[in-house]
Structure 1
């Protein structure tokens, strides 16, 4: 099995032959070219993962000419081969997009390390691009995550959204139930109509009816004119009832009538109003338990639960945390007018947390520490100001390299390694079972084990 495809561009036949032989023995598939024109022709049929490029090539033998042509090749890593006297030119090449440079005569051991690092980084970059495309696919762009649970959620939303079936979104607080509901609306036939959100626990019980149904003039003290309710505002669109488990029983009866008959009466009114809405409800409560306790009507429960979508706690999909951090950091950078990032230790702290408050807690914590950070760089000192419990002991499972910045794509890699090891432990070393736990094919798991050189 090939470790990757390499195009070697050098005008010295002896060096091409020797380098090709050595690279082939190292497991790479290699094509060679003697000049830039020949290199472009080879790339038309040979999809190289990496290019080894000499600076002085015929017919001009002018490094500046090669530098000017470099942009044609930098869609994949380019490693410059250069003489010692051309060091400044090699640095110019890196400024123009080259990955690295190696002086001739080439040290095979150094070349092996540089090639491997470049290919690993290139593969991670491609995977992250694909992950971002999956994240934003099909109008569900704010459903951020690469876990099997998020992939399944996006698939269900894309299938359910075009219908008018009622949806009940369940799961812990802070897991994005309203985001899911908005995605259902945005992909529906009603996307150009209103999306009206009502938090059933945030409105006092004695006001909920008038807020939902509206009222007519004189219905009660202070009702000096007719006022439409939220149902009217949602007509032809989507009504989202958040924390529906907190809705008082008397209101449950009236909501049931709306769902059964498609009509309602404003408070104090005698004229019946027709309503056409798509209902999406959400709760962090166990509604069947509330039904047994007599706190939620059984008939209403079956009316609202056409299809149930269940969200997962963030602790159950920790591989989604790096992309969530990246998304929120991009938002904060726009708000602050400068780049906002986490240094390596701060990123490790965020990745280690259990986040019982889920995405909401993660976002709020990031926003608060960004507010006290200096020059847009969030450090452990900033975190400790607001979270005195933060300690180095919490970082023992994911320590960054000393003095190095742990980038988000590297965090994805670190998390993948940790999750693969956990899955292999849970499956007692059975790779097929571990692959299913990770939402991967067996071949996909084997590729990752090989890439990360894991002893499992």
Structure 2
């Protein structure tokens, strides 16, 4: 049974301890934060299912600032806690998207009911959306889209390799569809009814990676108040996808090698050996043989994970696939917009389409960020287009540096269109991140320095925007 995660944000230590105890007794995994900044930092590594947020937080103790910060918890239900029984502010919080509010002093039974209702409903909504999206997504080999010779070769390999349990190493530049290939292999395998678990080996801090992969036993370290299954156990019977395995620390490489050799492992702090039946698919944008030569990657592990190598090509080398990729992404966007309009009880959206000039622009680019950049660019431009028609003017509004077809107007003179401030900020962030990654040759640490943010902050944005 899934243990749901709750982030409790409150500046009163005694209340945090008491409320945490109540929620843990209800079977939840609870982490606390004493400030909004601490809450934001916690969410980088703690994927909370729900946030309990006090309305008056330091250093300003201004409820309006707390209400504005709710945007940082997007995608999770937020239950507002107030010590002032301020109904107007609480109702404003609900109008801004909070799930519910509850006033101090809090009745433990009422807290349990409100939390359970929020998690149950959002879990059902998430599962329903996942089912709808899964039904719309191409499956198996068909998920790797393209007419080029390299795309056809990869689809043929997926179909031939998927029914086996052979280990696969997918190599190629970032954004070329390595996870898409891995999911295709899983979908066509006899393990398709079991979990597909994806782990980004460079996104999890080194000191947390072992406990995330192997889990831990009660008492293994401070805060380990109960046993927790790791990602290996969760993927039992299914597929474990190790993305960017070249970034895995050497100490973890030794432990992973044992899992691959013997099919067994010990949770952190545990004495009972666990057995695992899992297919491992790895991916990297690095030259692993070069890493073997410089001593940063174990040679024995390399040959264990290699099995069959599937190599992806940069989009610049298969530009003939751009139109069919755009069509597939437009269909996904259309379906997403239709769902959103239906939920909001609005009329169906206009049919999304590209003008000939916009299509020409998309086909003329070299796409250093590959398919991922193509998809995100299309999504950004589609968010501001008028009446479903994506034009060159829409592209120039978000990317004023382009110089094709006509000279773009300065952004200060550009029409505001229907783009919200959040949408324009998102598009600008995506563009700056792409530029920093390109300039640093995909070195995330250097890119973060260029952008003036932490590496974890950059990784969070990359995950949020699907870069």
TM range (shorter): 0.5 to 0.7
Paired residue for 1:380, among 389, 392, 399? 392
Q: In structure 2, the residue corresponding to 1:324 is in which secondary structure?
A: helix
Q: In structure 1, the residue corresponding to 2:383 is in which secondary structure?
A: helix
Q: Distance in 2 between matches of 1:233 and 1:163?
A: 21
Q: Distance in 1 between matches of 2:168 and 2:145?
A: 20
Q: CA deviation at 1:335?
A: 2.1
How do 1:149-188 residues align onto structure 2 when only pairs under 5 Å count? 149-188=150-189
Residue in structure 1 matched with residue 365 of structure 2 by the alignment: 353
How do 1:45-84 residues align onto structure 2 when only pairs under 5 Å count? none
2:235 corresponds to 1:234: yes
Stretch deviating more after TM superposition (371-380 or 237-246): 371-380
Residue in structure 2 matched with residue 336 of structure 1 by the alignment: 337
Q: Distance in 2 between matches of 1:299 and 1:173?
A: 25
Please say if residues 186 and 196 of structure 2, whose CA atoms lie closer than 8 Å, have aligned partners that are also in contact.
Answer: yes
Q: Distance in 1 between matches of 2:229 and 2:165?
A: 24
Q: Distance in 2 between matches of 1:293 and 1:228?
A: 34
Q: In structure 1, the residue corresponding to 2:373 is in which secondary structure?
A: helix
How do 1:363-442 residues align onto structure 2 when only pairs under 5 Å count? 363-392=375-404
Please say if residues 142 and 155 of structure 2, whose CA atoms lie closer than 8 Å, have aligned partners that are also in contact.
Answer: no
Residue in structure 1 matched with residue 319 of structure 2 by the alignment: 318
Over aligned residue pairs, what C-alpha RMSD do you find?
Answer: 1.6
Residue in structure 2 matched with residue 118 of structure 1 by the alignment: none
Please say if residues 140 and 186 of structure 2, whose CA atoms lie closer than 8 Å, have aligned partners that are also in contact.
Answer: no
Q: Distance in 2 between matches of 1:164 and 1:258?
A: 15
Q: CA deviation at 1:376?
A: 1.0
2:301 corresponds to 1:300: yes
Deviations 1:325-360 (A, max 9, x none): 000111111222321111111111001000000000
Q: Distance in 2 between matches of 1:295 and 1:320?
A: 36
How do 1:135-284 residues align onto structure 2 when only pairs under 5 Å count? 139-284=140-285
Residue in structure 2 matched with residue 291 of structure 1 by the alignment: 292
Q: In structure 1, the residue corresponding to 2:283 is in which secondary structure?
A: strand
Q: Distance in 1 between matches of 2:146 and 2:202?
A: 29
Q: CA deviation at 1:140?
A: 1.9
Q: In structure 1, the residue corresponding to 2:142 is in which secondary structure?
A: coil
Q: Distance in 1 between matches of 2:243 and 2:406?
A: 35
Divergent runs of 4+, >4 A: none
Q: Quick check: which has more Rg, 1 or 2? A: 1
Q: CA deviation at 1:173?
A: 0.3
Q: CA deviation at 1:152?
A: 0.7
How do 1:4-83 residues align onto structure 2 when only pairs under 5 Å count? none
Q: In structure 2, the residue corresponding to 1:140 is in which secondary structure?
A: helix
Q: Distance in 2 between matches of 1:234 and 1:394?
A: 52
Residue in structure 1 matched with residue 131 of structure 2 by the alignment: none
Q: CA deviation at 1:276?
A: 0.7
Q: Distance in 2 between matches of 1:202 and 1:394?
A: 41
Deviations 1:47-74 (A, max 9, x none): xxxxxxxxxxxxxxxxxxxxxxxxxxxx
**Gap regions ≥5 residues in structure 1:** 1-135, 396-456
Please say if residues 216 and 229 of structure 2, whose CA atoms lie closer than 8 Å, have aligned partners that are also in contact.
Answer: yes
Residue in structure 1 matched with residue 92 of structure 2 by the alignment: none
Please say if residues 168 and 282 of structure 1, whose CA atoms lie closer than 8 Å, have aligned partners that are also in contact.
Answer: yes
Please say if residues 213 and 232 of structure 2, whose CA atoms lie closer than 8 Å, have aligned partners that are also in contact.
Answer: yes
Please say if residues 242 and 282 of structure 1, whose CA atoms lie closer than 8 Å, have aligned partners that are also in contact.
Answer: yes
Q: Distance in 2 between matches of 1:139 and 1:332?
A: 21
Please say if residues 140 and 183 of structure 2, whose CA atoms lie closer than 8 Å, have aligned partners that are also in contact.
Answer: no
Q: Distance in 2 between matches of 1:184 and 1:335?
A: 25
Q: Distance in 1 between matches of 2:164 and 2:141?
A: 16
TM-score (norm 1): 0.56
Please say if residues 196 and 239 of structure 1, whose CA atoms lie closer than 8 Å, have aligned partners that are also in contact.
Answer: yes
Q: In structure 1, the residue corresponding to 2:309 is in which secondary structure?
A: strand
Please say if residues 219 and 269 of structure 2, whose CA atoms lie closer than 8 Å, have aligned partners that are also in contact.
Answer: yes
Please say if residues 175 and 313 of structure 1, whose CA atoms lie closer than 8 Å, have aligned partners that are also in contact.
Answer: yes
Deviations 1:209-234 (A, max 9, x none): 00000000100001010000000001
Q: CA deviation at 1:141?
A: 2.2
Q: In structure 1, the residue corresponding to 2:143 is in which secondary structure?
A: coil
Please say if residues 237 and 278 of structure 1, whose CA atoms lie closer than 8 Å, have aligned partners that are also in contact.
Answer: yes
> Do the aligned partners of residues 392 and 232 (structure 1) sit closer, same or farther apart at CA in structure 2, a change above 3 Å counting?
same
